[in-house]
Amino acid sequence: MLSRVKIAVLVSGGGTNLQALIDAQNAGIIKSGEISLVISNNKNAYALTRAQNANIKTATVLKSECTDVAEFEDRIIQLLDSNGIEIIVLAGFMSILSANFTSRYKDRIINVHPSLIPSFCGKGFWGLKVHEAALAYGVKVSGATVHFVNEIPDGGKIIMQKAVEVLEGDTPQSLQKRIMEEAEWKILPLSCEKVASDIQRSKNNNL
């Protein structure tokens, strides 16, 4: 039997997307991969507690303890490499990764964005700002996109998308919640499984 692909999840906050991944792994939705490491750039992130409760190894890398971005990313790379990580999931990770970092893990870093890319994405579009922009524009359908990460914010190849209807009277908060529940928490685990399965298959073909 093929060994499961090792997944690292990078987090900064509450970790609701991380929890969706943990739940999907427990439910057997993610079966080709395994969450082996959670790294946070915030030592107070509740996501670390979620990982610890699930017996997943955690680590913290703080920018304040690094001389520059290169050292910050090098510390993360050392953790990824020493733990044999093959897929990196950005789950509310509030730090833009450099081209040096992303090119090192081509088609191995995935991110979920709370809109249907190419709408309401790129630099400056994160969190509630995405939903505020969507509502201001008057769109009738929004949703979420899981994509590979490259040097352009939200610019990598799309893996999966799911549409969510915008309802009359929606606020940025209500739209954010519905997109999380109906789209993000569904397609992020499915995308993880797809990428892990593809990596497993290519390793099998090279045996």
Counting beta carbons within 10 angstroms of the beta carbon of residue 102, is it exposed (0 to 12), middle (13 to 18) or buried (19 or more)? buried
Query: Phi then psi for 170, rounded to 5 degrees?
Result: -60, 140
Among 113, 131, 178, 186, which one carries the catalytic annotation?
113
Count of Cβ atoms closer than 10 Å to residue 116 Cβ: 22
Residues 146/112, Cβ–Cβ less than 8 Å:
yes
Residues 170, 197: Cα–Cα separation, whole Å: 37
First to last CA, the chain: 13
Cα atoms found within 13 Å of the Cα of residue 187, Cβ hemisphere only: 24
Q: In angstroms, what CA-CA distances link 96 with 8, 10, 145, 192?
A: 17, 12, 18, 20
**57 in Cβ contact with 39 (< 8 Å):** no
Determine the 3-state secondary structure of 61 from DSSP.
coil
**Is 113 one of the catalytic residues?**
yes
Residues forming the active site: 113
